[in-house]
Amino acid sequence: MWKAFVVSAALMLSSAAYAESGRIRRPPPSAAEAERIASEMAMNDSLLQKGDIVVTDRGFFVFRGPAPDGVTNEFTRVPNPGKLGR
């Protein structure tokens, strides 16, 4: 009887703690992880048009259009314009 009471009390306390915060707390991403996430978001942007240049953590890319599969996007790497003419 006491075991069932202790278990149910523990479950009630843990659910109350979850209800207070409303979600699981995670540590913020590292700088490298944040850059990777931002790059993925930029390269998967639905508003990209042919010829748009996307700057990512891996360099500069020009958007060529959707791939034949209709799901992924095609990009071509371009040189960093800041390093040209030096």
Determine which helix (DSSP H) or strand (DSSP E) holds 81, and give its type and residue range: none
Got the DSSP string for 28-55? PPPHHHHHHHHHHHHHT-TT--TT-EEE
**Model pLDDT, residue 34:** 92
pTM of the complete model beyond 0.75: no
C-alpha 1/C-alpha 4 separation (Å) is 5
Predicted local confidence at residue 20, as pLDDT: 60
Rounded Cα–Cα distance for residues 54 and 68 (Å): 20
Round to whole Å and give the CA distance between 2 and 25: 32
Report the chain (86 residues): mean pLDDT per 10 consecutive residues.
44 51 85 92 91 91 90 88 70
